[in-house]
Chains A and B, each alone.
Chain A
Amino acid sequence: GAVVSQHPSWVICKSGTSVKIECRSLDFQATTMFWYRQFPKQSLMLMATSNEGSKATYEQGVEKDKFLINHASLTLSTLTVTSAHPEDSSFYICSASKVRGSTEAFFGQGTRLTVV
């Protein structure tokens, strides 16, 4: 199989605090992971590409200093939302592929972030 697990599934935090979301590939190694954001009733929008051992590549309009990505191992990428504000409230989902160059994406279960 190909299982991607995200943690936590949901989190509530106060404005101004930081939140870390983990994305793990449980039964395969992933040199590349992707982070998406989905607002209610909207589509998934790619935020950034997380590359193991190197800097993440951010999509246009995504603030790299606000959304910190670390991909320190072949099975773990983390997304930290820094100084969160209510407008950052969203559903964050990661994905990974099993082999380099593969097109099939395996998604984590998503993290519902609510900033109050």
Chain B
Amino acid sequence: GENVEQHPSTLSVQEGDSAVIKCTYSDSASNYFPWYKQELGKRPQLIIDIRSNVGEKKDQRIAVTLNKTAKHFSLHITETQPEDSAVYFCAASTGTASKLTFGTGTRLQVTL
């Protein structure tokens, strides 16, 4: 089955700096890669996603890049703000009705 690894497990940045979180996946059939933000005790919130026919996608301060050959994808958050502090999960799917394999999570702390 699919295996998704995520690094780093914790990340502390100063407000205004950029944050980068990286994930690798094992199943070359995976073709959908969402990123979720989860606050304590809450449901995961989709913040951006990318499909395998695209190399990069951007939405305001958030961007995701995908390297299919290397089987890795990354989340980039620019101009970080304290409200960006949360746990972020990457995930991968082969497109089967949203069955997702999640990465291990990154706890992002944005300090003032």
- Asked if A and B are interacting partners, one says yes
Interfacial residues, chain A to chain B (CB-CB below 8 A): 31-32, 34, 42-46, 49, 91, 93, 95-97, 100-105, 107-110, 112
Nearest to A112 among chain B residues (CB) is: B41
Count of residues in B whose CB is under 8 Å from the partner chain: 22
Q: Interface code B30-44, partner A: CB below 8 Å = 1, 0 otherwise?
A: 001010000001111
Interfacial residues, chain B to chain A (CB-CB below 8 A): 32, 34, 41-44, 46, 49, 51, 89, 93, 95-105
29 contacts across the A-B interface (CB closer than 8 A): A31-B97, A34-B98, A42-B104, A43-B103, A43-B104, A43-B105, A44-B102, A49-B99, A93-B44, A95-B98, A95-B100, A96-B98, A97-B97, A101-B95, A101-B97, A103-B34, A103-B51, A103-B93, A103-B95, A103-B97, A104-B34, A104-B98, A105-B46, A105-B98, A105-B100, A107-B44, A109-B42, A110-B41, A110-B42
Q: How many pairs of residues, A versus B, come closer than 8 Å at their CB atoms?
A: 61
